[in-house]
Structure 1
């Protein structure tokens, strides 16, 4: 009898164990940081999260139950689940800070929102499928006011500005990009290495005085200090990276080093140009920190980058026109292009805590870029009709190709730029006030040799520049004068620019009753002097006042309102001083932009999960504008302050757990920006990107949460397509077609911080995942610029779109030790 009872007890015990399921995940706060000590309970059963925010709880299967997540500093949330037996459900909630209990913590957590600073989740950056994966690509997708229509470029436009108008900082040190890069194919790697990054902050306008003198935006990157030894490795068809980090036994010295390699030939081979393409992009970075004592810390940031770009075009076939009148450009090439971009960067930063209220920072950095751009390319081109007869065996073939002419492009360009600076910053806390001051001296020494010319032949006649007299009227009358290049630039410039800048700002957080208020007032100033050989020196000074205000009302809803603005100047860099024929103009003044930004942040719970809605309306009035043209990623300035402009728009983004345990983003933007050159009237600027829709969606298979999906989708309306050389831009106001791109990535995570495994060969790995990525999965033909084909017989210039990459498949492996 006793044996029977024991058997029955054991049977039902086994049955009860077999009829269980598991819910597990990681609990994080609003900033995306893990929370330790969160109580995860079901009735009388429960567990708590560990130091990494991880939890795992056994619950009854095939039964709807309620799991509660609670912590003394955060709001409690509940989750109803019904999980089949022996299955796992991955659920990672985000807990909201309790406003009524810890006001000081809330103010600190909301400080970035009050300042109009966007925090970009670094884990999302690492997982986002993109042709040129990195922080900048993520910004194009989820950043307010950010747009970009070249997947091979890390450059981006912000609210009507161009690539040169964006500030980039790494650990408080401003970084730069090469000068001569003309194409996204040549860029290779961004300066910022996501594998070394801890925090990403971004402001699309109305930013504080402590940030530098640019017109559009600030990207503020913080590299992490290692806490333990680790190795990370990534490999794909496009390249790979290796990251090694560690800390000394006494915890004083920490170092992290990252090496990257990339090859874009896979994308170029998908284009409409047949080439022999041999790119080689290599980058090595290190961040070393030594903690002398509780008051003094010394940091070093170093970077070495080498881009070798070898390009031999063979032929091109680009179809364009309409369905009823399809056309094709047929080109045969001779010659090649060989470019090299070598950059070296080093910065040393000392931080000294005088006391609990005063911090001093002294930073010195040096940036050197050595760039070579050599090419001789001869092109024979013609335009033909495309067979549009669906019943024909030759449907889609090019027929009746008419030879239009030929073109010879030549360049021998060399540039050597050395930028050195030293900067002192002070931060003083006094009661509710925060004072920040800074002063900086910078010397820019640039040696530039430009030799470029272009000879164009059409219908057997050499084309002369339209602005050169006497004009030829071929083919009706022969021209017997010498052959003159259609365009020619030949110059040697030795330029030194001395800059002295400084800022001071005051911030305060306070309460009126239970309404939280945040203020910031600041001013920047810069003086610079341009010296060049055989050119009269010029000296300029600008002063830039800025202000921000935010209020978080004591409402049941978590809503914050903010307003910011001020005067923003962009003192000209070397590229802005040089005109189209290579002459440097020291008299060029700083462009000025008056910002006004109105913003609103609303955090709320939907489906018992955290969400956030961010909206911003803005207006920018620009004066002393230096007009420019954009060709791929090359910007050419007129080196004249002969225009005024404006930009107005609205941006909105909602992000949250549309799928439980994942973060997804949906964003929308409207922009209108126009310029008035020499009082001819307002026309669209080259960056007039009217509408933007973007989606970053994350998902996983419920019964197999380790199988994850990432979708990156962007739609932008077309920008102005530019105009031929010497042409009046007021005549050429056509637009490129709309830009649409969708990338998808699917990966299986065998092991990471949130997922453990019993597979023995994975015991020594901290992370192991394998995935595939499909770029441009709908194979949409997007274009970045136009090639203008000139026909002397018809006296017309035909715009031929330059298409970007097509559909590309990539395989990716990620390992962490």
Structure 2
């Protein structure tokens, strides 16, 4: 308790000593090219009395004041001048690349916000915000979890659910290439690294619903990420108690070749050691990514995106003690383990993309990719538990220990699960502009071949006070110890199956965009449709049917001719989710090839309001949504493992309100506050509507960035999330209509402090050692600042003495401290 008060006081003082900043600076850097795409040397880049000159590679760098309009002038003795206007945030590093011409002068006003994304209902996230955000699981997903409508109760997982959907219902693209998650992962601490390497990111767009037809066939959301194309040589590195990363990028002398490569290593020992279960365990994860680009001329561009990752999860639990109950009647669960778990997840991914610009109005793209995953889950873990009263007598030698056992039992879990999956994709896309780009047509066709080889051998035996427990579905009289039990002795859970499955998919879309006017009001219209056909085949499958779904979608955005900068947007459409392999496999591991695509109809009404407060920019986005769902494939959710019933026997709905206020609460730094309300229910076989596993009613998220005016080198980053409890307090095997209990509310605060050593590099002499660094920072992070005990599931044990069942929370990580060093050359 004293520690909590100390940390709260520390945070409070940090907030109060941080005030408005003045005279902060920013940086503009880039490459100047001529019309032949060759670097231009000796270009003068000037702002008032400050001047920089391009070198042989055309590179320039100049420091400018922040929070005010800055006019940069590019001049050269044989080329026309270029004038560009900027307004940057303190500490912001903007890449601005220039093409100088011999013909006409150019005037350019740099606009940070994109009106096109705004009318499409897409939220853009700055890559720098992701890199600095303190989170136990760093990456894009950690920032998404602060948005309204995006929920996750597992800080060690990159998975998230959006507006009532589950982890499998979100599309993720990198450079227009769809990426996949592993299949067998059961818990968040097995995941390791998110696919996206944030040090390689240039642009991040996110839509929580009502997205366009050009995106794929999932029911909830789309995350669209673009990796940057290097313009100069650079190295970025980070090291901390949780691992490290290094990213290098460069460009050839003729500017035709460029490459960026990142290596990441992750060690989650700090988080594992903070949990209640004592283990011999050091989980390590590693991946390598590269993005290579080749542009022989202005019409052609070729790129390769590759990724190789390996997660090794060798887990040997020793003991665990969880205290619960009340002050008057404290109870503890004490478990002693034997055995171990050896898991391995190895993935290889490669994609080629070719872009051909026939002219300014016709662009074609060809994309091919291969994804190969080999996953292994092997474990034999024996657990002996004691449920009893805890000694609370201060001064007692057994203080905090179990002194009287009310229930004893044991449990043996066994698995030999192997999966080998190969996905091959080939896709062609086109973009056409008509009538001076007033109309835009997009289209695409894609073929996917999925080959899955899967073996499941998984069983669990439970013994309570010497009596083997049968599974709930076995209905056989059992009144031991008064009469002997003569029924069958079977495992409590038993799944055995071998599946060799092939899935062939054909999909495509066509989409039309236009901008028009109604009087003095501006109107944007987007309309399109998708189709998806798939067929399941494989060993032992003879009754599979080819299925096809069509998904029309439309968006309308209106910007009234008002003094206030507002945009109103309405989106509606069909969103189908043709089943992937995991959705075809039922609780017993048997594949049902005729599982239908789940269908959702989205209705989204939103308002986007840009305004200024205290002469600083702010944005308030409000979205009301309703989703009706049919042919729902119901599932159980335990930690991050989803097990489907593969039956399409339910209907569901979700509705809610999302609000997000973001802007410069402190000059030059973007922060936001989000609030969401949602309700989602499902009706299985007309038994009535009950809460879905992702029914999380209230959500509050805050991402706050700040810095000290008298010490501008010191930055502060705060991440706060509050979610009401999820359903899931009951056993996964239980009938959801009988048990509608919820987990406790999720509350988490992560804070990070960063001291930037290179903040005033422009004032240092040229020979100073810090001049070699573009950025050099030392950071200190506190994860789970207030040490809240957040539960992800319950462990259910039985007390034969009182004939009660107890749900003991499985807590996530406690407070953890981390130190990191970040450098960029």
Q: CA deviation at 1:77?
A: 9.4
Instruction: Tell whether the 8 Å contact from 2:349 to 2:371 is kept in structure 1 after alignment.
Output: yes
Q: 1:126 aligns with which of 123, 131, 147?
A: 131
- In the TM superposition, 1:700-739 aligns within 5 A as 700-739=707-746
Q: In structure 2, do the counterparts of structure 1 residues 268 and 52 end up closer, same or farther at CA, with 3 Å as the change threshold?
A: same
Match of 1:590 in 2: 597
Q: CA deviation at 1:401?
A: 2.4
Match of 1:802 in 2: 810
Unpaired runs of 5+ residues, structure 1, are 1-20, 29-35, 58-65, 79-88, 95-101
Instruction: Tell whether the 8 Å contact from 1:54 to 1:754 is kept in structure 2 after alignment.
Output: no
Q: CA deviation at 1:324?
A: 3.3
Q: CA deviation at 1:467?
A: 1.6
Q: 1:362 aligns with which of 345, 359, 366?
A: 366
Q: 1:307 aligns with which of 301, 308, 311?
A: 311
Match of 1:500 in 2: 506
- In the TM superposition, 1:684-695 aligns within 5 A as 684-695=691-702
Q: CA deviation at 1:474?
A: 2.3
Instruction: Tell whether the 8 Å contact from 2:761 to 2:771 is kept in structure 1 after alignment.
Output: no
How far apart, CA to CA, are the structure 1 residues paired with 2:577 and 2:303? 29
Instruction: Tell whether the 8 Å contact from 1:506 to 1:521 is kept in structure 2 after alignment.
Output: yes
1:109 maps to 2:118: no
How far apart, CA to CA, are the structure 1 residues paired with 2:45 and 2:717? 28
Q: In structure 2, do the counterparts of structure 1 residues 93 and 293 end up closer, same or farther at CA, with 3 Å as the change threshold?
A: closer
Instruction: Tell whether the 8 Å contact from 1:25 to 1:754 is kept in structure 2 after alignment.
Output: no
Name the SS for the 1:538 alignment partner. coil
Q: In structure 2, do the counterparts of structure 1 residues 556 and 567 end up closer, same or farther at CA, with 3 Å as the change threshold?
A: same
How far apart, CA to CA, are the structure 2 residues paired with 1:629 and 1:489? 15
How far apart, CA to CA, are the structure 1 residues paired with 2:90 and 2:685? 61
Instruction: Tell whether the 8 Å contact from 1:70 to 1:77 is kept in structure 2 after alignment.
Output: no
How far apart, CA to CA, are the structure 1 residues paired with 2:801 and 2:409? 10
> TM-score, structure 2 length as denominator?
0.88
Instruction: Tell whether the 8 Å contact from 1:47 to 1:56 is kept in structure 2 after alignment.
Output: no
How far apart, CA to CA, are the structure 2 residues paired with 1:504 and 1:342? 36
Instruction: Tell whether the 8 Å contact from 1:753 to 1:766 is kept in structure 2 after alignment.
Output: no
Instruction: Tell whether the 8 Å contact from 1:48 to 1:55 is kept in structure 2 after alignment.
Output: no
Q: 1:458 aligns with which of 448, 464, 481?
A: 464
Match of 1:327 in 2: 331
- CA deviations over 1:357-376 (Å, ceiling 9, x no partner): 01000110000000000000
- CA deviations over 1:662-714 (Å, ceiling 9, x no partner): 11111111111111111111111110111111111111111110111111111
Match of 1:165 in 2: 169
Instruction: Tell whether the 8 Å contact from 2:776 to 2:822 is kept in structure 1 after alignment.
Output: yes
Match of 1:515 in 2: 521
Q: CA deviation at 1:328?
A: 1.1
- CA deviations over 1:154-190 (Å, ceiling 9, x no partner): 1001001000000000000000011000011000000
Instruction: Tell whether the 8 Å contact from 2:84 to 2:110 is kept in structure 1 after alignment.
Output: no
Instruction: Tell whether the 8 Å contact from 1:319 to 1:326 is kept in structure 2 after alignment.
Output: yes
Match of 1:82 in 2: none
Q: 2:290 aligns with which of 274, 286, 299?
A: 286
Q: CA deviation at 1:49?
A: 11
Instruction: Tell whether the 8 Å contact from 2:637 to 2:732 is kept in structure 1 after alignment.
Output: no
Q: 2:780 aligns with which of 746, 757, 772?
A: 772
1:156 maps to 2:160: yes
1:485 maps to 2:485: no
How far apart, CA to CA, are the structure 1 residues paired with 2:353 and 2:702? 38
How far apart, CA to CA, are the structure 2 residues paired with 1:67 and 1:645? 51
Instruction: Tell whether the 8 Å contact from 2:632 to 2:651 is kept in structure 1 after alignment.
Output: yes
Equivalent pairs counted in the alignment come to 761
> TM-score, structure 1 length as denominator?
0.89
Unpaired runs of 5+ residues, structure 2, are 1-20, 29-42, 54-59, 74-82, 95-106
Q: In structure 2, do the counterparts of structure 1 residues 163 and 92 end up closer, same or farther at CA, with 3 Å as the change threshold?
A: closer
- CA deviations over 1:225-253 (Å, ceiling 9, x no partner): 00011111100000000101100110000
Q: In structure 2, do the counterparts of structure 1 residues 363 and 174 end up closer, same or farther at CA, with 3 Å as the change threshold?
A: same
- In the TM superposition, 1:161-240 aligns within 5 A as 161-240=165-244
Q: CA deviation at 1:389?
A: 5.1
What's the Cα RMSD here?
2.9
Q: CA deviation at 1:564?
A: 0.5
Q: CA deviation at 1:799?
A: 1.1
Q: CA deviation at 1:816?
A: 1.0
Q: In structure 2, do the counterparts of structure 1 residues 103 and 215 end up closer, same or farther at CA, with 3 Å as the change threshold?
A: farther
Name the SS for the 1:111 alignment partner. helix
Q: In structure 2, do the counterparts of structure 1 residues 756 and 521 end up closer, same or farther at CA, with 3 Å as the change threshold?
A: farther
Match of 1:604 in 2: 611
Q: CA deviation at 1:798?
A: 1.9
- CA deviations over 1:422-477 (Å, ceiling 9, x no partner): 00101010021000000000010000000001011111011112222434332332
1:671 maps to 2:678: yes
